[in-house]
Structure 1
Amino acid sequence: MLKRIYIDNFRGLVNFELNFDSINLFLGGNGSGKSTVFESLRKIQAFLTIHCDAGEVFKSSDCTRWQNLLIQRFELEVSGNGGNYKYELAIEHYTQHNCYVQHERLYFNNQLLLNIENGKGQLVRDDNSSLSEFPFPTSHSAILLLIESGNTKLKWFQNRIKRLIIVQIIPINMKNGSRQEEIELDWRMENFVSWYRYITHDKDKLPELIDSLKKIIDGFIGFRFEKISEEYVILKLQFLTSKDEKEVIEYRLSELSDGQKALFALYSFLYCTQSQDYTLCIDEPENFLALPEIQPWLVQLYDFCSEQKLQALLISHHPELINYLLASPVGYWFERQSNAPVRVKKISHEMAENTGLPISELIARGWLYEPA
C-alpha cells in the first residue's frame, strides 16, 4: 500500500507531505493542488517504469514559480513484500530544458538497497554482496536500468509502482480497440482496451465483473473481442434487445453513452484489480454518472478498501460521495492562496457537530474552513 508522499518544488507543492490510508478523499477548490498530487505520482511512475530521459518527464516549468530553486525532491513510502520501502529522488534543472538525477535512493526496512549520487552508484544484492562506486548515467532511473541486477526487492518495488492506476475518465477518449496489450493505463484512458486485454488474462475475475455490470447497465449480458486484422482487435459489448427476447445486439465502445463507458471502466477497475495490491487514483469518478449509478460502485469500493483488497485515492466534488466516504476519517481538505504553497488538513466530523449540517453542505456554503 502507498503510505506516504513528499514533494518539494513542484508547482504549488512546497515541502508538501501526505500520509495515506486504504481509502482517501481529496477535497478543495479548483487550483488547490489535488490533481497536482496525482500529476507528481504519474511523473514518478513514468520515470521508474518507462525508458525515458529525466528531461522528458521532469520540466523546469513545473518548478514552483515564486521560488528560484533548481532542485525538485520527491519521496514515496510503500508497504509490502514483507516490509516497508522508502524511495527518494532529487532532480536538478541546469537549463530550461535539461535536468539530471542528483540522487536516487531506495531503502527496505531502513536498509539501503540502492544509492545513486552525482553519477556514482551503490547497489546491494539479495545475497548482501554489493557493487560500490560504479559509474552511472544521471539521465535515467537506476531502478529501471538495474532491474535485472540480482536484487529482487528492486523488481518488486518497480512492479508495485506499475500498479498505480492514475486516471481521469474521459469516455470520448476511449478507443474501440487495440494492437497490443498494455500493462499501464494512460491518464486520459485512450488505451483502455489495450489495458483491459492485459488485466483480464485472469479469467476468474470476469464473472464478478459481468454480474456487477448486468445489475447496473440495462440489458448488458457480456463482451467479446473481435479480430479486425492480424494485429488489431476491437472490444464489443453485448446487449439483449429486451428481457423477453433472446436476440443479442453488439456495440463498440464508441456506440455507448458516456455514462455506460464510465461505468464499464469503473467496475473494471474494481473487479479486475482487487486483491492484486493496486492503488486506484481517480480524479472525479462521479463525472458522467447519476447518483443511482455511482452509489453502488462507491459502496463496493469502500468494502474492498476496508477489506484491504484495494487502495483508493479519489478527488471529488460530489455531495453523496463526500458524505458517504466521510463516514470514516479519510478526507483531506486542500487549500491554497495565490502564489502560496498548498496546505492540507485532515477532515473530522467535529467540524460539523455545531451546525447539524453534513460536511458536503459546509463545503458548498464555504463554511468548512474559514480563511485565515
Structure 2
Amino acid sequence: MIQQIRIDNFKSLVDFEIRLAPFTCLVGLNGSGKSTVLQALDFISQQMRGELGEWLVLRQWDKRDIGSRLTAKKNIDLFVQVELPGCDLIEWSASFNRQSLRCTSEEVFHDGIRLLKVEDAECWLTYGGDAGLRTRKIDVIFEYQGSILSQLKSNQICEILQVLKEEIASIRSLDLLSPEYLRQRTRESAGYLGLGGQKLSAYLHELGSEERERLLDQLQKVYPRLTDIDTRSLRSGWKQLDIAERFAGKILKTPARHVNDGMLRLLAVLSQLSSDEHFLLFDEIENGINPELVEFLVDALVASDHQVLVTTHSPVILNYLEDDIAKKGVIYLYKKSDGATQAIRLFEIPSLAEKLRFMGPGEAFIDTQLTELDKEIQTLQLLWVSQEGKDASVAER
C-alpha cells in the first residue's frame, strides 16, 4: 500500500503532504485542490511509466501547466512511501525537471539501505546476496522521461526496486470519467480504461468470461433486469458494447450510446475492482449515480482489495462509512492564505472528533461551518508547532 505522498511545486501543491488509507476520501470547498491531488498522483504514476510527454498531450497540458505559480522553484520534488507485506517500508524521492521531463536526481531507501541513487547523469544500484551488498555504477547515456526506473529492466534492478516500480506504476486515475467518453467505441484498451473511460467497450471485450460474469453478478444486485453485458467486434476492429435487459419476458439490447449515465459509470468503476491496478482514483464519485445506488458503490469500493482514493462534494458519501474508516480515510483539503493546498484528517480536528461521538460522519460534516473550521485548523497548527518546540527543548536538556 502507498502510505504517504509528499509533493512540492505541482500546481497548488506546495510542500504538500498526505497520508493515505486503504480507502481515502477527499472533501473540501470548491477550488481547495481535490482534483489537483488526483492529478498529482497520476503524475507520480507516470514517472514509472516514462510517458510524460504523451501524458501531457492526453490532458491537453503544457509543461508550464504542472508547475506552481506560488513559488519560483523550477523542479517538482516528489516523495513516496510504500508499505510492503510485513510492514517493510520503501521510500522513493526525486526531483523532476519540467524542461527535460526527467527526474534529474533520485534516491530509494529500504530498511536504511540506499538501493538507488541518480545524480548528474550517473546511477548507482545496490544489490544484495550471499556475498553481501554490492554497488554498481551505470553511466546514463540513454534518453528517458520520468524516473530512470521506467527504463531499467527487471534483470537490471533488485526485487525491492521492481516492487516499488510496479506499485507506483499501478496508480490508475479515472478523474475525467464521463458518460460521453464511456459511450465511445474503441479498437483496443491495452488493459486500461483511459482517464475518461473512453476505452470501456474494448476493455470489457478483452475481459475474461469469468471476470465478466462476476461483474454482471455485482450489477444485477442493483439492476435485477440486467441479463448480459454483451460486446462484439465490428468492422476494422471497433468494439461495440450492448446492455441486455429482460422486460415482460423479452430480452432487449441497448447500445452503449443509449444506456443511462449511472449504469455506465457503475459499470466502469466496478470493472476496475477486478483489474491488476493496485490504486484507483475517482473524482466526484457520486456524479451521475442515483442516491439509492451510492451506498452500494461506496460499500464495493471500501470492501475492495484495491487501494482507493475518491473525492466527493456529497456528505451522504461520508454517512455510508463506518466510523473507523472515516477517522483514518476522510481527508479535509483547504487552502492557506498564500493559496497553497494543505491536508488534514477531518476527524482529527477536535470539534469534528467530538461531533463524531454523536453523529454520523456526513452529519458531522454538514453541521460544520467550513469558514470556522479553517480558523480551528490554524489554531490547531499553532498548538502543534508550540508543542514541537517544547519537545525539542526538552530533548536538548
Match of residue 253, structure 1, among 253, 256, 275 = 256
Which residue identity is paired with 1:177? Answer: R
2:212 aligns with 206
Secondary structure at the aligned position of 1:205 is classed as helix
1:105 aligns with 107
Q: Rate the CA distance shift 1:184–1:103 in 2: closer, same or farther, 3 A.
A: farther
Which residue identity is paired with 1:252? Answer: P
User: Deviations 1:271-311 (Å, cap 9, x if unpaired)?
Assistant: x14xx57222111110011210111121232233xxxx222
Which residue identity is paired with 1:323? Answer: N
User: Deviations 1:68-97 (Å, cap 9, x if unpaired)?
Assistant: 11121011112236643222120234xxx5
1:347 aligns with 346
Secondary structure at the aligned position of 1:177 is classed as coil
1:262 aligns with 265
Secondary structure at the aligned position of 1:263 is classed as helix
Match of residue 188, structure 2, among 180, 186, 190 = 180
TM-score, structure 2 length as denominator?
0.80
Tell whether 2:199 aligns with 1:191. yes
User: Deviations 1:18-70 (Å, cap 9, x if unpaired)?
Assistant: 11111111111111112111111111212311445599588233222132111
| Structural mapping, 1:1-372, within 5 Å | 1-52=1-52, 59-80=63-84, 83-93=88-98, 98=100, 100-125=102-127, 127=129, 129-137=134-142, 139-140=144-145, 141-151=147-157, 152-168=159-175, 169-198=177-206, 200-201=207-208, 203-229=209-235, 231-242=237-248, 245=249, 247-270=250-273, 272-273=274-275, 278-304=278-304, 309-325=305-321, 327-328=323-324, 329=327, 330-337=329-336, 339-348=338-347, 350-352=350-352, 353=354, 358-363=363-368, 367-370=372-375
Asked if 1 retains the 8 angstrom alpha-carbon contact of 2:201 and 2:231, the reply is no
Alpha-carbon distance in structure 2 between the residues aligned to 1:194 and 1:126 = 43
CA drift of 1:184 comes to 3.3
Alpha-carbon distance in structure 1 between the residues aligned to 2:167 and 2:33 = 25
Alpha-carbon distance in structure 2 between the residues aligned to 1:228 and 1:184 = 20
CA drift of 1:126 comes to 6.2
Bigger drift between 110-119 and 255-264 goes to 110-119
Q: Rate the CA distance shift 1:237–1:154 in 2: closer, same or farther, 3 A.
A: farther
Alpha-carbon distance in structure 1 between the residues aligned to 2:56 and 2:317 = 36
Asked if 1 retains the 8 angstrom alpha-carbon contact of 2:38 and 2:281, the reply is yes
Asked if 2 retains the 8 angstrom alpha-carbon contact of 1:42 and 1:166, the reply is yes
Alpha-carbon distance in structure 2 between the residues aligned to 1:277 and 1:52 = 19
Alpha-carbon distance in structure 2 between the residues aligned to 1:173 and 1:179 = 14
Which residue identity is paired with 1:257? Answer: N
CA drift of 1:119 comes to 0.7
CA drift of 1:337 comes to 4.2
Asked if 2 retains the 8 angstrom alpha-carbon contact of 1:54 and 1:139, the reply is no
Which residue identity is paired with 1:102? Answer: T
CA drift of 1:103 comes to 0.6
User: Deviations 1:287-340 (Å, cap 9, x if unpaired)?
Assistant: 011210111121232233xxxx22211111112102223622021111114643
Alpha-carbon distance in structure 1 between the residues aligned to 2:178 and 2:56 = 24
Asked if 1 retains the 8 angstrom alpha-carbon contact of 2:334 and 2:374, the reply is no
Asked if 1 retains the 8 angstrom alpha-carbon contact of 2:172 and 2:277, the reply is no
TM-score, structure 1 length as denominator?
0.85
Stretches of structure 1 lacking an aligned partner (at least 5 in a row): none
Bigger drift between 71-80 and 355-364 goes to 355-364
CA RMSD of aligned residues (A): 2.9
Asked if 2 retains the 8 angstrom alpha-carbon contact of 1:115 and 1:123, the reply is yes
Asked if 2 retains the 8 angstrom alpha-carbon contact of 1:89 and 1:105, the reply is yes
CA drift of 1:230 comes to 5.0
Q: Rate the CA distance shift 1:18–1:158 in 2: closer, same or farther, 3 A.
A: same
Q: Percent identity?
A: 18
CA drift of 1:99 comes to 5.1
Alpha-carbon distance in structure 1 between the residues aligned to 2:139 and 2:150 = 16
Asked if 2 retains the 8 angstrom alpha-carbon contact of 1:119 and 1:137, the reply is no
Q: Rate the CA distance shift 1:61–1:25 in 2: closer, same or farther, 3 A.
A: same
Q: Rate the CA distance shift 1:100–1:263 in 2: closer, same or farther, 3 A.
A: closer
CA drift of 1:132 comes to 0.8
Which residue identity is paired with 1:214? Answer: Q
Asked if 1 retains the 8 angstrom alpha-carbon contact of 2:279 and 2:308, the reply is yes
User: Deviations 1:171-210 (Å, cap 9, x if unpaired)?
Assistant: 1111443322323332222123334445x33x44333321
Asked if 1 retains the 8 angstrom alpha-carbon contact of 2:50 and 2:144, the reply is no
Asked if 2 retains the 8 angstrom alpha-carbon contact of 1:121 and 1:136, the reply is no
Which residue identity is paired with 1:260? Answer: M
User: Deviations 1:128-156 (Å, cap 9, x if unpaired)?
Assistant: 55421523447523111112443243333
Higher helix residue share: 2
Alpha-carbon distance in structure 2 between the residues aligned to 1:259 and 1:183 = 23
Secondary structure at the aligned position of 1:173 is classed as helix
